Amino acid sequence: MQASAYQFWHPMLHPNEMKVREPIRIVRGDGCHVFDDGGNRLVDGVAGLWNVNVGHNRPELKRAIAAQLDELEYFQIFDGLSHPRAEELSNLLIDMLAPEDMRRVFYSSGGSDAVETALRLARQYWKVAGQPERTKFISLKQGYHGTHFGGASVNGNMVFRRSYEPLLPGCYHIETPWTYRNPFTEDPEELAHICATLLEREILFQGPDTVAAFIAEPVQGAGGVIVPPASYWPLVRAVCDKYGVLLIADEVVTGFGRTGAAFGSRLWGVKPDIMCLAKGITSGYFPLGATAFNQRIVDAFDGNDDFSGAIFHGYTYSGHPVACATALANLKIVRDENLAANAARMGDYLLQKLLPFAECYAAVGEVRGKGLMLALDLVTDKRSREPIDPANGYAARVAEIARLHGALVRPVGTKIILSPPLVFNQQHVDALVAALDA
């Protein structure tokens, strides 16, 4: 029977698109390359979907998965049950997150789950802490926090919200400190102050005793790789502290080295109360999400001995043994090969090679990035910074031509996003840039 890509629903796409075009079938991966079904070798400029950080086809990971399947393919961790891999991974994560003072993790199956867990437990935290009116969430425009109802409610992009409204009540969105496009100022530090002040004003407007948490990505990913000014996150932490609001860092993309620092929060020198992790935790070899909590949260739950301190939250696949074994093997590579440092080095090299595009090409308004997360912002007019019409297919055409020249890049609305594996080297960068240049 002829394989068909029309019988399954492709995420984030109109189904009719699959009637008019053949999908690009990726059939194999090796290192920083993938191969399509025509045998073409392509530089993976997107690491799968921001996640294959250690590269494709790593024997260490395949061995770890096989060994775990031999030992125990699955058992639940409900009802007081446990297994060694979940415990070992928790030790490792708490160790890796020591500078952020994280004390306990909760497991799920991916980034949307990790965010949902953060939002639900933030709400419950305030109930066990004796302030049940604190239920509201504040987040950033352009932010992306996955597709569950909670995550969609704090998402800052209409396309992910409109079709699913009404979403959670009590979610409010404020301006992102985006130097390239904002109504305030071109000065990054001034912008950081303005945007942190907007957070404070929103908390005051809502009533601090009603706000549960502020959630944001340390560097916005899907929204177009928006890197905040250096002072923004410390200012946000100070505002949250002033009003007792929890700070949730959605590190689903930025965690485990992508920005050039071990975690995005560390890049900004900030300790969140809750951290959402996924993607790079297993490099995509097995689905896993994790949400980490600090002492403040742990103490509130542990110190509460009535029924409200029990967590009525959990997934069949919480702490899946194979997922945990995969993460253990993957994070060993991330640490041993110091992939955060390589992301910083290669990210800088890639950025330097791409910056001239903004001079040479009329359609490239800005090139920006941090570590190995980068974006080209496409415009119709450099001076006004008017974005291209996302419906005119320009970004998709750029990606298609890049692919014909041997590299996979990601068209997202009015941007081209690059997020290669963290094991990228200079030859990979050169090949990626040459394909984009074409």
Of the candidate residues 29, 48, 111, 420, the single one contacting ligand PLP (CB under 6 A): 111
Phi, psi of 124 (to 5 degrees): -65, -35
Strand order of the β-sheet with 33-36 is 26-30, 33-36, 41-44, 407-408
Q: Closer CB to ligand PLP, residue 90 or residue 109?
A: 109
Of the candidate residues 145, 173, 258, 370, the single one contacting ligand PLP (CB under 6 A): 145
Least Å distance, CB 434 to ligand PLP, is 27
Q: Closer CB to ligand PLP, residue 282 or residue 364?
A: 282
C-beta separation of 388 from 363 below 8 A: yes
Q: Which of 112, 85, 90 is nearest to 322 (CA)?
A: 85
By CB under 6 A, the count of residues binding ligand PLP is 14
Quick one: which segment of 22-30, 120-128, 129-137, 214-222 binds ligand PLP (CB under 6 A)?
214-222
Of the candidate residues 115, 191, 212, 329, the single one contacting ligand PLP (CB under 6 A): 115
- Nearest residue to ligand PLP by CB is 111
Contacts with ligand PLP, 257-296, as mask; x by CB under 6 A: ---------------------x------------------
Least Å distance, CB 108 to ligand PLP, is 9
Q: Closer CB to ligand PLP, residue 221 or residue 421?
A: 221
Chain mean position to CA 421? 14
CA distance 46 to 67: 29
Q: Which of 136, 211, 143 is nearest to 177 (CA)?
A: 143
Of the candidate residues 106, 107, 126, 144, the single one contacting ligand PLP (CB under 6 A): 144
Provide the strand spans (E) within 183-242.
Answer: 211-216
C-beta separation of 383 from 10 below 8 A: no
Q: Which helix (H) or strand (E) holds 340?
A: helix 339-354
Of the candidate residues 53, 68, 108, 112, the single one contacting ligand PLP (CB under 6 A): 112
Q: Closer CB to ligand PLP, residue 108 or residue 342?
A: 108
Whether the ω angle into residue 208 lies within 30 degrees of 0, i.e. cis, is no
Residue type, 389: D
| Cα–Cα–Cα angle for 101, 106, 109, rounded to 5 degrees | 130
**Interaction between residue 221 and ligand PLP (CB under 6 A):** yes
**Interaction between residue 253 and ligand PLP (CB under 6 A):** yes
| Cα–Cα–Cα angle for 351, 353, 357, rounded to 5 degrees | 95
Question: How many H helices and E strands in the chain?
Answer: 15, 16
**Interaction between residue 52 and ligand PLP (CB under 6 A):** no
Q: Closer CB to ligand PLP, residue 175 or residue 250?
A: 250
Chain mean position to CA 145? 8
CA atoms within 13 A on the CB side of 13: 16
**Interaction between residue 218 and ligand PLP (CB under 6 A):** no
Quick one: which segment of 109-117, 126-134, 164-172, 239-247 binds ligand PLP (CB under 6 A)?
109-117
Residue type, 223: G
Of the candidate residues 222, 267, 331, 340, the single one contacting ligand PLP (CB under 6 A): 222
C-beta separation of 222 from 255 below 8 A: no
Quick one: which segment of 158-166, 177-185, 248-256, 389-397 binds ligand PLP (CB under 6 A)?
248-256
Least Å distance, CB 22 to ligand PLP, is 25
**Interaction between residue 371 and ligand PLP (CB under 6 A):** no
C-beta separation of 142 from 332 below 8 A: no
- What SS3 class is residue 336? helix
C-beta separation of 147 from 112 below 8 A: yes
Q: Closer CB to ligand PLP, residue 138 or residue 253?
A: 253
Least Å distance, CB 39 to ligand PLP, is 30
Quick one: which segment of 65-73, 215-223, 295-303, 419-427 binds ligand PLP (CB under 6 A)?
215-223
List interacting residues with ligand PLP (CB under 6 A). Answer: 110-112, 115, 144-146, 217, 221-222, 250, 252-253, 278
